[in-house]
Amino acid sequence: MTCPFCEIVKGKEASHVVYESEHTIAFLDIQPLVSSRAHILLCPKSHYETLDKLAANKEASAEIGIALPILAKACIEATNSTAFNVVQNNGEAAGQVVHHVHFHIVMRDGDEHPAV
């Protein structure tokens, strides 16, 4: 089955890219949890199903660690949000739908939606 995030990396699937490094890419979620708020997905450009499998790629792991706080800061500044969630699902039982490891960064601002 085609991986949508690999297609985004290859430029074959439309997306709004907000950040890119040698081994990582971040783009807007197609279906934001809170429709009025920024919802970004950060993932390695190479395909690894889950976070434990990403451990095999030290460069990508390191760049994910660098990108997360940078993206959090940029999102807060760009949207004036006062709160945010970072969520990461591994495996279907944990709610993972796209099997290409990714981090959700979801801006929150006193909206009515429950915490993730």
Give the binding site for ligand 5GP (CB under 6 A).
Answer: 4, 13, 15, 27-31, 41, 89, 95-98
* Among Zn ion, ligand 5GP, none, partner that 100 touches (CB below 5 to 8 angstroms by kind): Zn ion
Of the pair 3, 28, the CB lying nearest Zn ion is at 3
Give the residue from 34, 31, 35, 28 showing the smallest Cα distance to 8.
28
**Nearer Cβ to ligand 5GP (9/59):** 9
Rounded Cα distance, 37 and 86, in Å:
14
Among 39, 45, 47, 40, which Cα is nearest to 11's? Answer: 45
Look at residue 96 and give the partner it binds from ligand 5GP, Zn ion, none, a contact being a CB closer than 5 to 8 Å depending on partner kind.
ligand 5GP
Compute the least distance from the CB of residue 28 to ligand 5GP, in Å: 6
Asked if 3 touches Zn ion (CB under 5 A), the answer is yes
Edge to edge, what strands does the sheet with 83-87 contain? 17-20, 24-28, 39-44, 103-108, 83-87
